[in-house]
Amino acid sequence: QVQLVQSGAEVKTPGASVKVSCKSSGYTFTDYHMHWVRQAPGKGLEWMGWINLNSGDTNYAQTFQGRVAMTRDTSITTAYMEVRGLTSDDTAVYYCARRRVGTPIDYWGQGTLVTVSS
Amino acid sequence: DIQMTQSPSTLSASVGDRVTITCRASQSMSSLLAWYQQKPGKAPKLLIYKTSTLQSGVPSRFSGSGSGTEFTLTISGLQPDDFATYYCQQYNSYPLTFGQGTKVEIK
């Protein structure tokens, strides 16, 4: 069965970086794109961008341009998302979610809570 | 960017009710509209895609319709498990965008 398993919760100080991992299993990793979506406490869903798990090409939402980096390691079917220059506004649950072009996001990771606090 | 606006933000209903949630796009779009259900502390779950196609395993009391700029999610015969927050999302173009969510509460 398809599984996306994310790394555990993180607590960071303002200005730091965080890197979240997302381990995939149960499907052909390189057939998909991995999207990242975040959700601040009590708020809605915010799309951050995607990485083509085959080519490594990326597409980031304008809000995150220059501050986020999405990478992958096909040998261990794991995608990563790093956010730099954290502020308290980045406190959120970060989700990875897979998608094929022209189809909806269909499977999501369990989410990783990132707390930014001094 | 296509902005998605859901209404209402909160909906109070009873078990057995028929409920409808509306999602309006800021510009006309294709049928590439999905609906997700999210429960507290959980990841969203895909319910409907391509406006009206039910995801495998989703109960038939959920249905979707619409075109252009207006789309709806209908739950026919609300069940206790359906009390949750629902989001629409357009995947017609980048950036992917979500509605702000509709919380379905117990009346």
pLDDT digits 0-9 by tens, A15-62: 999 999 999 999 999 999 999 999 999 999 999 999 999 999 999 999
> Average model confidence (pLDDT) for chain A?
97
Count of A–B CB contacts within 8 Å? 49
Mean pLDDT of B64-91: 97
Q: What are phi and psi of B27, to 5 degrees?
A: -150, 160
Nearest chain B CA: its distance from A110 CA (Å): 6
Look at A105 and B99 and tell me if their CB atoms are within 8 Å. no
Look at A106 and B46 and tell me if their CB atoms are within 8 Å. yes
For A80-117, give one letter per residue: b (16+ CB within 10 A) or e. Answer: bbebeebeeebbbbbbbbbbeeeebbbbbbebbbbebe
Look at B94 and A59 and tell me if their CB atoms are within 8 Å. yes
Distance in angstroms (rounded) separating the CA atoms of residues A64 and A97? 17
- Kindly tell me the sign of the dihedral angle through the C-alpha atoms of A7, A38, B40, A27: negative
Nearest chain B CA: its distance from A75 CA (Å): 26
Q: Taking the mean position of all CA atoms in its chain, how far away is CA B49? A: 10
Mean pLDDT of B29-54: 98
Q: Which residue of B has its CA nearest to A6?
A: B43
Q: Does residue B106 have a pLDDT over 90?
A: no
Mean pLDDT of B87-92: 96
Q: Are B23 and B65 in contact (CB under 8 A)?
A: no
For residue B107, what pLDDT band results from cuts at 50, 70 and 90?
confident
Distance in angstroms (rounded) separating the CA atoms of residues A20 and B18? 40
The amino acid at A22: C
Name residue B106's beta-bridge partners: B13
Run of H or E including B37: strand B33-38
